[in-house]
Amino acid sequence: MKQSLMLTLCAVSLAGCLNSPASAEPCSAPDPALLRSTWQSFRTATLAGQPEQVARYYKFPVQLLPPMDGMKSMKITRPVFIKNYVELFQRGPADTEIAMLTAMKKSTGKEYIPQTKFDSAKCAFSGPTRIEDYNFVYDKKAGWVVESLYYDNNDLELAKSSQLDR
């Protein structure tokens, strides 16, 4: 009995040492150039219009935010994103070009990227980084991804009435 108790105590002690802050990886902000590179790759994929390729840059469910406070946003899952990509991001149900695509075509890839504060204690950014109408967040595994985006009011209302979130 004493031997099994001794082995248990050793295992618990070793596990405690492995989880101690001394052995934890240091926390550091990702290279700022990574966000610029992600934005340029995201822009290229968006302009190419291939849903599977574009989906790699999103964190699902992604939120389509209204341009004004007080309006309800839409949440889009990955399968719905792929299924309704053309209507959501290229040509709407009324067969008009979606405002986001028009704006992306006018972009240069050199858009202003604000500095977002990195909280070393939490090892995370204090909030999303907005580039144009897209809110990017940093995920340790996936890198920079779009968490939400501001959607044109007319396009959003049309998407809701056409039930493009299903």
Per DSSP, the residues of 2-40 read HHHHHHHHHHHHHHHHHTSGGGSPPP-PPPHHHHHHHHH
Mean pLDDT estimate for the chain? 84
* H/E element, 142: none
Query: Quick check: pTM over 0.85?
Result: no
134 band by pLDDT with thresholds 50, 70 and 90: very high
Distance CA 153, CA 60 (A): 22
Per-residue pLDDT at 45:
95
- All structural domains of the chain, each given as residue ranges with its CATH number in brackets, are 30-161 (3.10.450)
- Kindly report, residue by residue over 87-112, the tens digit of the pLDDT: 899 887 777 888 889 999 999 999 99
Contact at 8 Å (CB) between 77 and 160? no
- Kindly report, residue by residue over 46-98, the tens digit of the pLDDT: 999 999 999 999 999 999 999 888 888 999 999 999 999 998 998 877 778 88
% of residues, the chain, pLDDT over 70: 85
Beta strands in the chain (DSSP E): 58-65, 74-76, 118-119, 124-125, 129-131, 134-139, 143-150
Residue with token string 């109408």: 133
The pair of three-digit structure tokens given for residue 96, joined into one six-digit string: 């008009």
